[in-house]
Amino acid sequence: MKAFSTLYRTLDGSKRTNQKIAALVAYFRDCPPADAAWAIHFLSGRRIKLGVRRADIKAWAAQEADIPQWLFDESYNAVGDLAETINLIVPAGKETLGHGLTWWIEERLMPLVGATPDQQRCLLVESWKQLDPSGRFLWNKLLTGAFRVGVSRGLITRAVSEALSAPMARVEERLMGPWVPGPGLLAQLGDAASAADPASPRPFFLASPLQDKITDLGPCNEWQAEWKWDGIRCQAVRRGRRAYLWSRGEELVTEQFPEIARQVERLCHDCIIDGEIVARRDGSILPFHELQKRLGRSVVPKRILREIPVALIAYDLLEQDGTDFRDLPLSQRRGHLEELVRPVAGDQIMISPIVEGDWSELEFQRSQAAQNFAEGLMLKRKTSPYRSGRVRGDWWKWKVDPYVIDAVLVQSRRGSGRRAGVFTDHTFAVWKNGVLVPVASAYSGLTDAEMKELNAIIKNSGLEQFGPVRTVKPEHVFELAFEGVSRSARHRSGVALRFPRISRWRRDKVAAEADHFPALEAMITKTPIIKREITGELFPDWPGCGTDPTNQ
């Protein structure tokens, strides 16, 4: 556990990427392979469901510390983190055991699964006595499922590939697939011979926001334009008549979208399709929060299946019958895709329509994206291969509102007057050198139900409070939309966002996945902000359209 504690301290305390990578590489090289596997498991944000009740953990800790439960709770409120509270309160034992990470997980955490509360208590109390302080802190973090440290998957990939002297692309691909921690994991990640699980997805090619002028992209006929949907990115894998749906977070979401899976199984070939899952009813795409009702549950209730029908909008084909298509140009992949999907195309799977036209026509189409229930246009270079990760140049997202970031909620303020007692004003932060830097306050954009839920979370968050302001545990990610970014000496972050508002709650993201500061800096107005044109034709149903609505 010592080596893992040291690694954690470096990752947690350092703001320098190189230092973090060096620490990871050293750890992967020197520790037993099983420890490395568990480290990768937890560092990449995976958890183990142990089935220990939090209330029990608190009660046992209070008993061990020989203090009344209310005093433990007061302490927990002051600390704001259960693992740390236990660490500070429960007296340390006389002798510590020197076992490694794997032992502490496999002998002391895994046996908690399915154990009786009495057995669980024994394991916890023994472990608290036998761990040294820093090891105990980490073990408690793993126990309570709250282990988090500022390491991206990219960083882990780099470190593993460096430690194994294996190509990054290979490691990245293997890390995306289904794997279980174990002594063989490192070898599996790096070894050229061991094939990744065939049912695993390929690294996603990610588009970058378009910031340059559209005409800088060159002739229009070199590009393929499609709608940018507000859905869930998904790779649909068909293997031996079975379908596997993977989200971008490498999560298997097959169970959440059974009707899509059934259609994928009906395809005539094994394949990997890239596309977007959207909620779609009577030909209309539904808002993202409707789609989210399908997520986060192991079994989707019949009612939700009925009320929120979904569809896969297919736009790329990465593989067919074992042949890798990723190096083919997009235009060819598109041809194969159409051929493959056409026989089963319908309400559950459709081919992403191509938006035709020259640049000015596309610009007009883009302004009408909302009419088509899209966020804007995607521009893809027809000759481009399917790359891995966020590589600029070939795939651009050209959103109607180009200014969107994912930020973490860090602070909330109570309203006054009628809104007293309700947290109405929220502060959001993005990552900068490993810490969260507040960049904007926003107070609108959530539905009433979301507001209510968020309020309850903030109230129970238990972190410090100054007057009406409450510090919120940084774990909720929201997408903020705004009209522009400019430099500002008055703001601590150095930038000011124009008219920021909450565009949606990214329940699918954890804090570590929020945007980084350079993304904001890159938006500092290069192009004039394109005004959304609202004309009478666009909104035929708008009463009094064509005149200034505020004059009515």
Residue 5 or 320: which CB sits closer to another protein? 5
Helix, strand, coil fractions of the chain, as percent rounded to 5:
40, 25, 40
Q: How far is CA 125 from the centre of its chain?
A: 35
Q: Give the pair of three-digit tokens for residue 451.
A: 């507001």
- Report the distance separating Cα 281 and Cα 307, nearest Å: 8
Residue 187 or 463: which CB sits closer to another protein? 463
Taking the complex as a whole, how short is the minimal distance between the CB of residue 139 and another protein, in angstroms? Answer: 15
Residue 189 or 429: which CB sits closer to another protein? 429
Residue 87 or 503: which CB sits closer to another protein? 87
Backbone Cα Rg of the chain = 25
Taking the complex as a whole, how short is the minimal distance between the CB of residue 486 and another protein, in angstroms? Answer: 23
Residue 82 or 330: which CB sits closer to another protein? 82
Taking the complex as a whole, how short is the minimal distance between the CB of residue 64 and another protein, in angstroms? Answer: 11
Q: Give the pair of three-digit tokens for residue 213.
A: 């002028």
| Residues engaged in binding another protein (CB under 8 A) | 13, 65, 67-68, 70-72, 74-75, 78-81, 84-85, 88-89, 435, 463, 471
Residue 148 or 248: which CB sits closer to another protein? 148
Q: Which three-class secondary structure string do you get for 368-425?
A: CHHHHCEEEEEEEECCCCCCCEECCCCEEEEECCCCEEEEEEEEEEEECHHHECCEEE
Residue with token string 């009478």 = 536
Taking the complex as a whole, how short is the minimal distance between the CB of residue 210 and another protein, in angstroms? Answer: 35
Taking the complex as a whole, how short is the minimal distance between the CB of residue 148 and another protein, in angstroms? Answer: 12
In the chain, the amino acid numbered 283 is: G
Taking the complex as a whole, how short is the minimal distance between the CB of residue 137 and another protein, in angstroms? Answer: 8
Name the 3-class secondary structure at 1. Answer: coil
Q: In what helix (H) or strand (E) does residue 339 lie, and over which residues does it extend? A: helix 330-341
- Report the distance separating Cα 156 and Cα 515, nearest Å: 18
Taking the complex as a whole, how short is the minimal distance between the CB of residue 460 and another protein, in angstroms? Answer: 16
Q: Give the pair of three-digit tokens for residue 13.
A: 């305390």
Taking the complex as a whole, how short is the minimal distance between the CB of residue 61 and another protein, in angstroms? Answer: 11
Residue 58 or 501: which CB sits closer to another protein? 58
Taking the complex as a whole, how short is the minimal distance between the CB of residue 426 and another protein, in angstroms? Answer: 17
Q: 490-496 contacts: CB < 8 A, separation 24 or more?
A: 491/439, 492/437, 492/438, 493/432, 493/437, 493/438, 493/439, 493/517, 495/439, 495/520, 495/521, 495/524
Name the 3-class secondary structure at 212. Answer: coil
Q: Strand locations in 248-383, DSSP E?
A: 271-281, 284-285, 310-320, 323-324, 349-351, 354-355, 374-381
Residue 70 or 526: which CB sits closer to another protein? 70
Residue 141 or 504: which CB sits closer to another protein? 141
